[in-house]
Chains A and B, each alone.
Chain A
């Protein structure tokens, strides 16, 4: 007993000290769920710390929550009455969450002028990611843009131009892997990916949802043209060749960027041209640095917007094909319904995206290699200077301002829409289908999606 009492007193003392250190009685705690890890988590923690030091009203506590099943965790937290105050998510679920009442509209937290200013400032894609039924439900805090990376040295050596058109991209594919080859060998010029119909659809003039009629538009001519183009690769190389080559990409150590050479003496990776996102710029820079340290020459890599189809050759109606088009997704802050400190959450979200201080926000966007959602941040001197030093990254930032970058539409049932469109593209790439079978498969996908979007499911 003699030992126990001082021990208990010490424990109580420590607890009291701890609480005092963390919570000032006048400070409200903001619980922030995010999924960032690795290098990104250091940047996130730095933003949180800077916010906490910048004011005394709120204190953000960041909790890294693995992205898997985030939705289930959030729903259960909301249903249990103890949700976080702010959540970062990157799935096309905003409209579903809004419709079910899981998240609160931003207009409840921000005044009208603030919302107006914000919407005027967001890039078109960032606004599409944040708005449901013309109401701001989330705040996009970073865009993920896709473009076509290519090995410029390999193209030069082969005497091939930078792919600006679909025809040129197909020529690259055929130059490095002749049609009819029984087994694809490295390097392959280019292979389409079934998950990227979302990008090629808009390039070919298609779209997957009409906000005016509130109907899915899987059967649009442009989408069909993009599918036919994807199918042409199955006819060139065979479904199994495509599947096995793609599977081997997954086996690369540490999610290596397949455009980069693997062996020290190679100058070409598994692909000569490949669609991917801006985060790959870091991989290229690291690769070139490593080669330099080894005293070896490195091939040159570059990036360009997705090649553009030809109206006559590629089955695209005149004037419908789009330049600087593609699929975009991004991270979005949302404030769950029942959050205990929604105001603090909103203040932190604004701080993050640079509505309070764009120059300061530019620093963490540079540090993280992230694309800001607003013009205000990209226009800062610091960010412009960064773009001068990182020309590959510049292409992505320029694409961010394009009107033709489309996310999965923010409508209820969007996750199912995404899933069904990807399944359609997979079938087109992997199953032998003639034109009529392809038409029937498109119709079937349209029906499936319609039933999801109508809420029959």
Chain B
């Protein structure tokens, strides 16, 4: 079979009318897709880049303001208000939920790969939350996180943890205040640790089943000979896990890390439902995605929202590149 470059094909089609017709027919078939990409992807992409340098409210024509929107974002980042606050909230959520999803996902996959009675049932139970519509699961979580009657506080109560104000407090467990609270727990039995961002992390972990399926497939792909060799070398269960399973899973872990990061930064629906579209309590749920939405469709600052979107895009690309660079140190591809 011969392969030709596009230039060669064009030259050939210019010389050969039949080939020209075939190329045109091919292009005609591709036209809807090309038109779709131009209209629904390339054009909005370019337009949003232009709008990010404009003051624009949909109704009136965009007014070019240069880098004003970006400079406003920089000011807000410096002051920790507005977009700055949204970035901090997003970072907290992403840096907590993504690694925890990986650890929980791998742990569950390892457990679910064990050949025990009822394996399919356990696998189904773990995967089930992932197929529940996000709106329904968010409403369910609002009930489960209720301070007085919620299941989560009831379970915490069984291990001696006092009720937490999951949805009504802006505090974060991983913070200086959180550390002080743990001290207070030991001294007077009071523990006010978790807030709305932690609730969001908990919700994300509940939907880890999607990742577990990928890990399970990858675990199934690990050659048995590696485990046999490790066993002959005297490796116990834990050693086999950390020296065979985890390294062999590392490409999939890397993939899930990147996808999880993108998903966490773009997370919107459950945040919108939990905070009733306001980012409250105390702006603790104002993440970049919600801030972008509110700026665009509540305040009608399309220019500022576009600048936020571009900042988000550049940030995600940079984070992905960084992860890819770091992956050379810990991701092991079979045969390399």
Q: Which residues of A contact B (CB under 8 A)?
A: 68-69, 71-72, 75-76, 78-79, 96, 100-102, 239-240, 243-244, 246-248, 251, 415-416, 419, 423, 426-427, 430-431, 448, 457
Known contacts: A243-B165, A247-B167. The answer to whether A101 contacts B60 by CB under 8 A is yes
B169 & A243 in contact (Cβ 8 Å cutoff): yes
Complex interface: chain A residues within 8 A of B169 (CB): 239-240, 243, 430
Q: What is the distance, in angstroms, from B114's C-beta to the closest C-beta of chain A?
A: 40
18 inter-chain pairs at a CB distance below 8 angstroms, sorted by A residue, are: A71-B298, A75-B57, A75-B300, A79-B58, A100-B57, A101-B59, A101-B60, A243-B147, A243-B281, A244-B147, A247-B148, A248-B147, A251-B143, A251-B146, A430-B281, A430-B282, A457-B72, A457-B299
Chain A residue at minimal CB-CB distance from B281: A426
A75 & B58 in contact (Cβ 8 Å cutoff): yes
B280 at the binding interface (Cβ < 8 Å): yes
A415 & B143 in contact (Cβ 8 Å cutoff): no
B212 at the binding interface (Cβ < 8 Å): no
Chain A residue at minimal CB-CB distance from B57: A100
B163 at the binding interface (Cβ < 8 Å): yes
Q: What is the distance, in angstroms, from B169's C-beta to the closest C-beta of chain A?
A: 6
Q: Which of A100, A416, A430, A448 contacts B170 (CB 8 A)?
A: A430
Q: What is the distance, in angstroms, from B243's C-beta to the closest C-beta of chain A?
A: 46
Task: With a 10 A CB-CB cut-off, give which of A76, A101, A419, A431 has the most chain B CB atoms.
Answer: A419
Complex interface: chain B residues within 8 A of A76 (CB): 58
Q: What is the distance, in angstroms, from A186's C-beta to the closest C-beta of chain B?
A: 10
B33 at the binding interface (Cβ < 8 Å): no
Task: With a 10 A CB-CB cut-off, give which of A72, A78, A239, A247 has the most chain B CB atoms.
Answer: A247
B298 & A248 in contact (Cβ 8 Å cutoff): no
A243 & B298 in contact (Cβ 8 Å cutoff): no
B59 & A75 in contact (Cβ 8 Å cutoff): yes
Q: What is the distance, in angstroms, from A203's C-beta to the closest C-beta of chain B?
A: 24
Q: What is the distance, in angstroms, from A47's C-beta to the closest C-beta of chain B?
A: 30
Additional A-B contacts beyond A240-B169, A247-B168 (16; CB < 8 A): A75-B58, A75-B59, A75-B300, A76-B58, A79-B58, A100-B57, A240-B192, A243-B169, A244-B168, A247-B165, A251-B143, A251-B146, A415-B299, A423-B282, A423-B283, A426-B282
Complex interface: chain B residues within 8 A of A239 (CB): 169
Q: Which residues of B contact A (CB under 8 A)?
A: 57-60, 72, 81, 143, 146-149, 163, 165, 167-170, 192, 277-278, 280-283, 297-301, 304
Q: What is the distance, in angstroms, from B95's C-beta to the closest C-beta of chain A?
A: 24
> For the complex, what is the distance from the CA of A68 to the CA of B282, rounded to whole Å?
21
> For the complex, what is the distance from the CA of A430 to the CA of B284, rounded to whole Å?
13
A457 & B301 in contact (Cβ 8 Å cutoff): yes
Complex interface: chain A residues within 8 A of B57 (CB): 75, 100
B59 & A78 in contact (Cβ 8 Å cutoff): yes
B165 & A248 in contact (Cβ 8 Å cutoff): no
Known contacts: A415-B299, A426-B282, A457-B299. The answer to whether A246 contacts B59 by CB under 8 A is no
Chain A residue at minimal CB-CB distance from B146: A251
Q: What is the distance, in angstroms, from A104's C-beta to the closest C-beta of chain B?
A: 13
Chain B residue at minimal CB-CB distance from A246: B168
B59 & A100 in contact (Cβ 8 Å cutoff): yes
Chain B residue at minimal CB-CB distance from A183: B163
A100 & B300 in contact (Cβ 8 Å cutoff): yes
Q: Which of B60, B146, B163, B283 contacts A100 (CB 8 A)?
A: B60
B297 & A69 in contact (Cβ 8 Å cutoff): yes
Q: What is the distance, in angstroms, from B60's C-beta to the closest C-beta of chain A?
A: 6
Complex interface: chain B residues within 8 A of A248 (CB): 146-149
Closest 6 CB pairs of A and B: A243-B168, A244-B147, A72-B297, A247-B168, A243-B165, A100-B59
Chain B residue at minimal CB-CB distance from A101: B59
Complex interface: chain B residues within 8 A of A431 (CB): 282
Complex interface: chain A residues within 8 A of B281 (CB): 243, 426, 430
